[in-house]
Amino acid sequence: MGMINNYMRKNSKKTYLCRHKIKCMNSLFINPVTINGVIYFASDFHLGAPNAEESKEREKRVLDWLNCIEKDITHLFLLGDIFDFWFEYRDVVPKGYFNFLAKLYQLREKGVEIFYFTGNHDMWVKDYFEKELGFKIFRRQQAFMINGKRCLVGHGDGLGPKEYGYKLIKRLFAFRPHIKFYGMLHPFIAFSLARFLSRKSRAMAPEEDRDYLGDEKETLTQYVLSISQKESIDYFIYGHRHLPVKKELYNGAIYYNTGDWLSHDSYIRMDNNDIELLKK
């Protein structure tokens, strides 16, 4: 009887560990990055679009904002589509953006940690920012424990239900042989093609997407609602949507969207006491 009990206890422990492992594998809140301080989130600067003149003016607004928040910032989250297009060759990166990158380097020298999430427009960021500027690069959403709050942070593209066509296109763009082939193009051709496709994509965006479409039609809202039913998360923080959003969910969680700097100049500030969706 003792042997049977020992066997049952041993296998019961294995079953528990197996179930625990499966649960962890299904969870999104695994190995969170823990940080504390005054944190700023912004996304969708789309520097480079739609032309050099307008991009320069937008870059200046971003620089004014960075100078303003410099007094208290400890961490900066750049949540994707910071550039309207970015592609790194082995010896070539897109020209321009010197003042912007110099300011970020200055912040890094002062001890500000910068987390860069790739978006759908700058998904081909490689290691330039990491090696030259000390950014921490994330290519998918990441769990963070920020000032004691459980946060799920990312760019936000392709997370919602359906969107099968977009998800397929994103996989094709992320396919290594395709990236290698694109890298064989002369930079003049590659960058011109990317700018053309970006302009075409922006022109085809539905007019009604400038407003909140309702919970049933907003794919990111649908996504956070589904995740919040399964996991205990305080804040979902994304970009991509180009619309500042603060959406309180039924279980106390809050979905924030940083908006963009094409139309809103919006961002999020978080400290030990509060989190706010603000405009410059």
Instruction: Tell me whether residue 267 is in a domain.
Output: yes
* Paired tokens of 248: 């309180």
* Residue 12 burial (C-beta neighbours within 10 Å; 0-12, 13-18, 19+): exposed
Instruction: Tell me whether residue 21 is in a domain.
Output: no
Q: Say how many domains are in the chain.
A: 1
- For residue 19, CA distances in Å to 7, 24, 229 come to 18, 9, 19
Instruction: Tell me whether residue 16 is in a domain.
Output: no
Q: Distance between CA atoms of 268 and 256, rounded to whole angstroms? A: 8
pLDDT for 130: 94
- CA–centroid distance for 166 within its chain: 17
pLDDT in tens, 217-265: 899 999 999 999 999 999 999 999 999 999 999 889 999 999 999 999 9
Sign, CA dihedral 178-201-261-48, equals positive
Range of the domain at 272: 33-279
Sign, CA dihedral 137-75-227-219, equals negative
Instruction: Tell me whether residue 170 is in a domain.
Output: yes
CATH number at residue 59: 3.60.21.10
Sheet arrangement for strand 254-258: 33-35, 142-146, 149-153, 235-238, 254-258, 244-248
Instruction: Tell me whether residue 12 is in a domain.
Output: no
**Within 10 A of 204 (CB to CB), how many other CB atoms are there?**
7
147: left (phi over 0), alpha (psi -120 to 50) or beta: left
- Bridge partner residues of 33 (DSSP): 144
pLDDT for 120: 87
Instruction: Tell me whether residue 9 is in a domain.
Output: no
Provide the strand spans (E) within the chain: 33-35, 39-42, 75-78, 113-117, 136-138, 142-146, 149-153, 235-238, 244-248, 254-258, 266-270, 275-279
- For residue 182, CA distances in Å to 71, 79, 126, 193, 212 come to 42, 24, 14, 10, 36
Asked if 73 and 112 count as a contact pair (C-beta separation under 8 A), the reply is yes
Instruction: Tell me whether residue 3 is in a domain.
Output: no
pTM: 0.83
Instruction: Tell me whether residue 2 is in a domain.
Output: no
pLDDT in tens, 108-165: 999 999 999 999 878 778 888 999 999 999 999 999 999 999 999 999 998 877 665 5
